[in-house]
Structure 1
Amino acid sequence: MIHYKTTAEVELMRESALLVSKTLAAVAAILKPGISTLEVDAFAEKFMVERGATPSFKNYKGYPFTCCISVNDAVVHGFPTDQPLKDGDIVSVDVGVYKNGFHGDSAYTFAIGNISPEVQQLLRVTKESLRLGIEKAVAGNRVGDVSFAVQDYAERKHKYGVVRELVGHGLGRRLHEDPQVPNYGKRGSGPKLNDGLVIAIEPMINMGVKEVFYDDDGWTVKTKDGKPAAHYEHTICVRRGKADVLSSFEEIEAAEKANPALFDAY
């Protein structure tokens, strides 16, 4: 069942989504070689709790951490560990918060130190595919229009692997609501997008093949060929004419540029 949000509910969701963005910006300020992803996870949890929110992911279906932190060939749902980050790593940080009865959800991929031109391109293309998907998230279109936009740019134009097993989703009082929002599909297919629908659009793009597997922890999804993957996500509300993006990358990008330990791939 698809739940449409009232204007007041959308504003509550915007507050949750923007807190996710602020959390990711705070994370961007501390990322550097030598820090562990467990330290990042603890920092993010403290940041959001101090601002009156609850981590959406912690204990969700048994997931034991606040953030999903996925390094290099880990696509999504990575377990934070005590392994220190090193120069050349790329790190997807996926965060959800629950506040005022609603969830917010967003993700961003950071580059630690120096990364190759090929990995820079992967990050740029994945981020741009998200923007192109959001362009199609307007009332009157269908989910397949969003899906096709992401796939067409990442897979057809740039020959990257678009993950099939994991998809974007509706969002609201529950972390995952209908409809599912794949990153691949046909234009004009799938559920119709109507005003007031809130969805998380989240391209998961592999440098190599699209196939993935689950690591031994049962959560971390990795690329089958061991090549890197990138992941970006926004919470958006479908509107007439233009989607309303409830989360924001603005503060994250500013923190990324200000941190000399991060490579600005854009």
Structure 2
Amino acid sequence: MITLKSKREIEGMNKSGAILAAAHLMLRDRLYVGMDTWEIEKMVDNFIQEHGATASEKGVDGYKYATCISINEEVAHAIPRKGLKLKNHDVVTVDFCVNWQGYQSDSAWTYVIGETTPEIEHLLAVTHKALYLGIEQAKVGNRVGDIGYAIQNYVENEEHMGDVRELIGHGIGPSVHEEPDIFHYGRPHHGLRLKEGMVITIEPMVNAGGSSHIDTEFMPDIDWEYYVSEDRSLSAQFEHTLAITKEGPKILTSQDKIFDKNFLI
């Protein structure tokens, strides 16, 4: 069932999203070569709690952590790992959800550890632009296929990179994952029609090597699966939570009020 949110609910989710965005902004200045991924987990979890909220992913399907931390060829759902140290040139995606007084938000961001390279910069630029091309299509009366096509056409046809198929965006609030499914590929003018009051995530994952598919890796010691790029190339992800309004898409997890000025409540 798809729930349409009221103005009050969207305002609450915007407050939740502000806490989440602030946590990402905090991370930008604190990630460094040699950092243990467990430090990121503790830092994010503590930040969320200090701002009167909770990390929503804890307890979902048995998940024990506030964050998912995916490195290099890891596409999504990798966990924070004690003893795993970040290295120069690592591409790190940190994904987490925030619950503030029952209002949910969800956002992932990809960071470079230490020095960057032209290949990494290009991957991040393409993935970031893909996110915003999708957001621009999240208008009342458009369809899910319009979002997906905008992302797929740019990533695959213009940039010749891999637009991940198997992992998708979703509706959100009051649960973390709700209908509708938001695909990052598709046909224009096809799929579910978007309505005022929907709140969704758009979260394209892009593989630098060109494969649009993923493989599953398994951690037997903790009985956990996560995903890597099929061709083992670097992967990046950017994700926002946004509301669909009659004035256009409104980003609820904005980290840059100037860049996002046309998409703010």
Letter in 2 for 1:94: D
**After the TM superposition, which segments of 4 or more aligned residues of structure 1 sit over 4 Å from their partners?**
none
Match of 1:123 in 2: 124
Letter in 1 for 2:175: R
Residue 139 (structure 1) shift: 0.3
Report the identity percentage.
Answer: 38
Match of 1:228 in 2: 234
Residue 17 to residue 85, structure 1, CA distance change in 2 (3 Å): same
Note the residue ranges of structure 1 that are not aligned, 5 or more in a row.
254-266
Note the residue ranges of structure 2 that are not aligned, 5 or more in a row.
260-265
Letter in 2 for 1:12: G
SS at match of 1:222: strand
Match of 2:255 in 1: 249
Match of 2:206 in 1: 205
Residue 249 (structure 1) shift: 2.2
Distance 2:236 2:246 in 1: 30
Match of 1:169 in 2: 170
TM-score w.r.t. structure 2 length?
0.92
Residue 166 (structure 1) shift: 0.6
Match status 1:92 vs 2:98: no
Letter in 2 for 1:151: Q
Residue 60 (structure 1) shift: 1.0
Once the two structures are overlaid, the 10-residue window that deviates more, 3-12 or 55-64, is 55-64
Residue 242 (structure 1) shift: 2.0
Distance 1:118 1:147 in 2: 24
Distance 1:185 1:79 in 2: 30
Residue 241 (structure 1) shift: 4.5
Letter in 2 for 1:185: G
Match of 1:237 in 2: 243
Letter in 1 for 2:84: Q
Residue 162 (structure 1) shift: 1.1
Letter in 1 for 2:80: P
Distance 2:255 2:128 in 1: 10
Residue 116 (structure 1) shift: 2.0
Match of 2:5 in 1: 5
Distance 1:77 1:44 in 2: 16
Q: Deviations over 1:136-166 (max 9, x none)?
A: 0010101110111111111111111111111
Letter in 2 for 1:3: T
CA contact (8 A) 1:126 1:231 kept: yes
Distance 2:229 2:63 in 1: 20
Identify the match of residue 215 of structure 1 among 214, 217, 237: 217
Distance 1:28 1:96 in 2: 17
TM-score w.r.t. structure 1 length?
0.92
Letter in 2 for 1:212: I
Distance 2:99 2:216 in 1: 27
Distance 1:248 1:48 in 2: 16
Once the two structures are overlaid, the 10-residue window that deviates more, 237-246 or 160-169, is 237-246
Number of corresponding residues: 252
